Amino acid sequence: MTEERFGLFERFGVELEYMIARRGTLEVAPIADRLLAPEGGEPESELVVGDVAWSNELVLHVLEMKTRDGPALSLDGLADRFQAGVHEANARLVAEDAFLLPGGLHPIMDPTRDAQLWPHEFGPVYRAFDRIFDCRGHGWSNLQSAHLNLPFRGDEEFARLHAAIRFVLPLMPALAASSPVVDGRIAPWLDARMAFYRSNARRVPSVSGMVVPEPVAGEEEYRERILNRIYADLSELDPDGVLRYEWVNARGAIARFERGAIEIRVLDVQECPIADLAIIAAITRVVQALCEEETARVATLNTFATERLAALLDATVVAAGGAHISDSEYLRLLGIETAAPIAADEVWLRLVRRFPLEGADAVRWSAALAVILEEGCLARRVKRRLGAEPHAAAIRAVWNELADCLSDGRQLREIEVGERMRIREH
């Protein structure tokens, strides 16, 4: 049976991943299969719970929540649906002395010691990844992201959507970075998850490329230039073709032709669903504007070299909203005219003003974005709490508070209004 195809911005597929951790200690709890087992039954790869679906990921301590029954008609209301899913999962985890933990990376997990692969359905795929790439690393078994799937119908829509997403991709960590701590220490990057993610597949470099996808004119060119090269480079390591599917592509946005969508993968999960949905709504609005050529022709976007976009992504992975964007041509194609470099969070501020959010949840999204743009991305707020050399107890305290934020559906905040300008100046 062929899946129904949707046109540009007619549907929205959202997926949020959370760690399962022990209360207090934050030790990872490899018990996702218990949550995914119907009463008296065997673990399933997907289980509908209320208005969301729960599913497994690579490792047993991660639970994914996604829109049930396929992509949603609108982003409106999704934050509340995911929040209800969080409440239900946490209620079921009480008996395990565990809870859901947000953030792009577990701050103290040792993946070489703590990672346990999902052993049930789809297990052979995970074992193939582990055999080829060794999944006992932060970029494989210690990462939690938010995925956004945007649909297309036909080659022309695919090409427009791919060009727009590719162009906006380097700016996304500026809003979404939430992983500043790894191995119990402050990382050199505010988005440590993406720093590890981009080197995951270094044994077969074509699998992730430069993370920013190459420009393509349509599906045929995409398959020839990206997918077929990956399959060829993997053939000796994967002679049975276990990984010969389009999801093996590890770029920051990948074409899912079997479902007629492009999946964005560069977003760290936030401290609560309303923050995730605010970021997703802002990204969607800007991508839509570029698809509709409000600031530049799509053909012009595709002439922008992948290396230049990758350099911009590198900058936001390190500094998130504090990254200085000095490429005047890039800014001009976004509709921003400036003679001097500007910070990535200022770029987002201008984009959100030019392309205001729309929908029933727009006021809530705008309020959540204001926290991010005025007080810093979650990674910066966490780092400010911890200082330069945090001790283990401080890290546990902050992540336990993040778990409370997730449970309560609120953002992490501590800055008085009068302090905001001073912080943004620094």
Gap between the Cα atoms of 68 and 265, Å rounded: 19
* 244 pLDDT more than 80: yes
Mean pLDDT, residues 364-376: 97
The band of 419, judged by pLDDT with boundaries at 50, 70 and 90, is very low
| pLDDT tier at 104, thresholds 50, 70, 90 | very high
Residues 85-108: what's their mean pLDDT? Answer: 97
pLDDT band at residue 412 using 50, 70 and 90 as cut-offs:
very high
Domains, the chain, ordered by start = 13-412+419-425 (3.30.590.20)
* Contacts of residue 328, Cβ cutoff 8 Å, sequence gap at least 6: 338, 339
pLDDT digit string, tens, across residues 113-144: 999 999 998 889 999 999 999 998 898 999 99
pLDDT reading at 388 higher than 90? no
pTM: 0.95
Residue-wise pLDDT for 8-25, tens only, equals: 999 999 999 999 999 989
**170-218 pLDDT, tens digit each:** 999 999 999 999 999 999 999 999 999 999 899 999 999 999 999 999 9
More confident residue, 345 or 417: 345
**What's the whole-number average pLDDT of the chain?**
94
pLDDT-derived band at 418, boundaries 50, 70, 90: very low
